[in-house]
Every structure is written in structure tokens, then in C-alpha cells.
Amino acid sequence: MAKQRSKRPKPSAPPEELTVVVCRGGDCGSRRKHPEVDHSAQLTAFRDGTAGSAKVVPSKCLDACEHSNVVVVLPSEAGSAAGATPVWIGEVNDTAVTSDIVEWVNAGGPGVAPDPTLVSIQEFRPTRLSRSELQPGHALP
């Protein structure tokens, strides 16, 4: 006897949320290079500040050490639909930049909310090699 298929509707997938990638390899997260930065507190600020708005992922080296500390904000489905691409932000070494990123992510991030001034100033274009670090199975756990 064949199994009957359930007539219940399949649950719809939740809308894709933003992802905040916080580099913690190489020079990013290094007390040697940035002794004035509390790297653990910064990661906690991203996680706590964006809870419910984004997934925060510490990564292996994103190969953009000249811009350390590096944070990449990957757009949500809505942001991608609006044409947004990942935003690479360098020199995230103080609480003002961290706070601006958190507020921006909570407002919708790339393609949804306007870039804060500090994000615009510190945004950089990564190399092709650096961009490849965000490919599935590479830098992201």
C-alpha cells in the first residue's frame, strides 16, 4: 500500500536574513596588531546588537589583512533583489564603527537602508582572492 502524502501545506522558509562576517584570522582579531581593541567584546556587540536581524559568523582569514579588522555584511534577499552586493568594511577598530554597522544591519543593511557615513568612508573593494574567501565551504564554518 502506498503512503498517502500529507495535504498540509509545507511551511514556508523564513526570509533570508543578513549575514555579518567578522574576520578573526590573520591580523583581524590580533591583540598584537590591535592591542587597543577588545575583539571578544566587539564580536559580542555584533551578536547581541543584531540578534533577530542577522546571523553573525566569525570567519577564518578573509585575506584583506591590510584593512584589519574586516567585517563583511552580506545582503538579505530583499537587499540582493535591490541589487546590493556584499559590503566590505575595513578598519573596524572602535565602538563607533561597530555601532554604525549594528544600526545599519538592524535597519535592513545593504540595498535596504542607506549606508552610514562611517561605513561609506571605510568601505573597500576586495581583491578577487578575498572575495573567494566568502565562498561556501571556504572561510565560513
For residue 92, the domain's CATH number is 3.40.30.10
Q: Would 139 be classed as within a structural domain?
A: no
Q: Would 4 be classed as within a structural domain?
A: no
Residue 67 confidence (pLDDT) = 92
Distance CA 88, CA 75 (A): 11
Residue 135 confidence (pLDDT) = 63
pTM for the whole structure:
0.82
How many alpha carbons lie under 13 Å from residue 47 in its C-beta half-sphere?
8
Q: Would 2 be classed as within a structural domain?
A: no
Domain that holds residue 119: 18-132
Answer whether the bond into residue 106 is a cis peptide, omega within 30°: no
Q: Would 12 be classed as within a structural domain?
A: no
Q: Would 85 be classed as within a structural domain?
A: yes
Q: Would 90 be classed as within a structural domain?
A: yes
b/e per residue 65-104 (b: at least 16 CB within 10 A): bebbbbbbbbbbebbeeeebebbbbbbbbeeebbebbbeb
Distance CA 63, CA 56 (A): 19
Q: Would 47 be classed as within a structural domain?
A: yes
Q: Would 140 be classed as within a structural domain?
A: no
Grouped pLDDT means (10 residues each) for the chain, 141 residues: 46 64 83 84 96 92 89 94 94 94 96 94 88 61 48
- The number of domains in the chain is 1
Distance CA 128, CA 131 (A): 5
H-assigned helices in the chain: 39-49, 77-81, 95-106, 117-122, 128-132
